[in-house]
């Protein structure tokens, strides 16, 4: 087994210590940060996402795998920046105003990070102005919004409206998710996409990337 495979497996087998040690070994051997990201980290987290989707993994497994991913990422991130390796895209994420529920949002952030995206996490209870400001400052490709209850979900259209009013609507794709949301609701409020879970959020963003690259 190559060291790259060893690292990928450490992520899939949810072993943060092993992931960190293997990353050190890889870097000592002169393996590039981009190779570590693209050959070990992203495919490793993809497999974790697949296992979650299939119901083999539960949130604890995903979180420990994300810990392994973060152990690697913290070592290679400065090198990626130094080497000018571009991230796949930038995503601003937050839980909607009035809502402090962060677990779903955190999982989505982790999976997207593991798929190579730069994540700007605005936290919880994020209002329309804060989303708009973040879009202006960070120039993301996507905005992802999470909600726990119907009573907080109804604040999402205000964000979309504010993005439109600020003249930014055609600069970002708005994606939504969370327990009370559905594809139908996403369409009703004019969001660009809905994902029922964290691994679907990754697939959705990838599909949209492809569609954008194709246009």
Partner 1 sequence: MFRSQNREPDFENLKQVLQKKAPPRAVLFEFLLGENKEKRLTGTEFRSSSEFDRVVTTIKAFDSGGYDFAPIIVRGLVFERKSHFVSHALTKSLNEGSVITDRQSFENYAWPEIENCDFSIISKAASYLHPKAKFIPFSHDGILENVIGIVGYERLCLMLYEDEPLVSAIFFEVGKRIHSYFKACLSYPEVGAVILNDDWGFNTHTLISPKALRKYVFPWYKEIVVMTHDNGKYAILHSCGRYDAIIEDIIGDMRFDARHSYEDGITPVEAAYEALKGRLAVLGGMDVGFMARSGAEEIYERSTRMLRRSAGLGGYALGSGNSIPDYIPDENYLAMLQAAFDWENREGGRDDPN
Binding residues (CB under 8 A) for partner 1: these are 14, 52, 55, 58-61, 63-64, 67, 98-104, 106, 124-125, 148-152, 179-180, 182, 196-197
- CA–CA gap between residue 177 and residue 64 (Å, rounded): 23
Task: Output b/e per residue, 26-48; b: 16+ Cβ within 10 A.
Answer: bbeeebbbeebbebbbbbbbbbb
Question: Does the footprint of ligand B1M cover residue 101 (CB under 6 A)?
Answer: yes
Quick one: DSSP state of residue 96? B
In the bound complex, what is the minimum distance in angstroms from residue 91's beta carbon to ligand B1M? 9
Q: Tokens 């400001």 correspond to what residue?
A: 133
CB 190 within 8 A of CB 100: no
End-to-end CA distance of the chain: 40
Residues between 143 and 202 with contacts to ligand B1M, criterion CB under 6 A: 144, 146, 148-150, 175-180, 195, 197-198, 201
Please report, for the chain, how many H helices and E strands are present, in that order. 11, 5
195 binds, among ligand B1M, partner 1, none (CB under 5 to 8 A by kind): ligand B1M
- CA–CA gap between residue 105 and residue 16 (Å, rounded): 22
- CA–CA gap between residue 22 and residue 161 (Å, rounded): 47
- CA–CA gap between residue 194 and residue 77 (Å, rounded): 29
60 binds, among partner 1, ligand B1M, none (CB under 5 to 8 A by kind): partner 1
68 binds, among ligand B1M, partner 1, none (CB under 5 to 8 A by kind): none
- The residue (of 44 and 177) whose beta carbon lies closer to ligand B1M is 177
Q: Give the x-and-dash track for 26-65 against ligand B1M (CB under 6 A).
A: ---------------------------------x------
55 binds, among partner 1, ligand B1M, none (CB under 5 to 8 A by kind): partner 1
In the bound complex, what is the minimum distance in angstroms from residue 63's beta carbon to partner 1? 4
Binding site for ligand B1M (CB under 6 A): 59, 101, 103-105, 107-108, 144, 146, 148-150, 175-180, 195, 197-198, 201
């Amino acid at each position: 087994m190559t060291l790259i495979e060893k690292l990928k497996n450490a992520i899939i087998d949810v072993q943060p210590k092993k992931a960190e040690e293997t990353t050190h070994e890889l870097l000592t051997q002169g393996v590039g940060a981009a190779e570590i990201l693209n050959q070990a980290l992203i495919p490793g987290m993809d497999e974790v996402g697949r296992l979650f989707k299939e119901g083999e993994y539960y949130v604890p497994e995903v979180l420990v795998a994300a810990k392994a991913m973060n152990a690697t990422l913290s070592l290679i991130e400065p090198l990626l920046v130094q080497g000018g390796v571009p991230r796949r895209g930038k995503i601003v994420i937050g839980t909607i105003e009035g809502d402090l529920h962060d677990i779903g949002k955190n999982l989505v952030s982790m999976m997207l990070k593991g798929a190579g995206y730069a994540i700007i996490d605005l936290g919880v209870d994020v209002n329309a102005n804060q989303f708009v400001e973040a879009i202006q400052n960070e120039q993301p490709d996507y905005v992802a919004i999470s909600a726990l209850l119907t009573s907080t979900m109804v604040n999402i259209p205000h964000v979309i409206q504010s993005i439109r009013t600020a003249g930014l609507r055609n600069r970002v794709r708005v994606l939504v998710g969370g327990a009370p949301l559905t594809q139908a609701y996403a369409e009703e409020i004019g969001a660009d996409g809905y994902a029922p879970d964290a691994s679907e959020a990754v697939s959705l963003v990838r599909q949209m990337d492809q569609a954008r690259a194709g246009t």
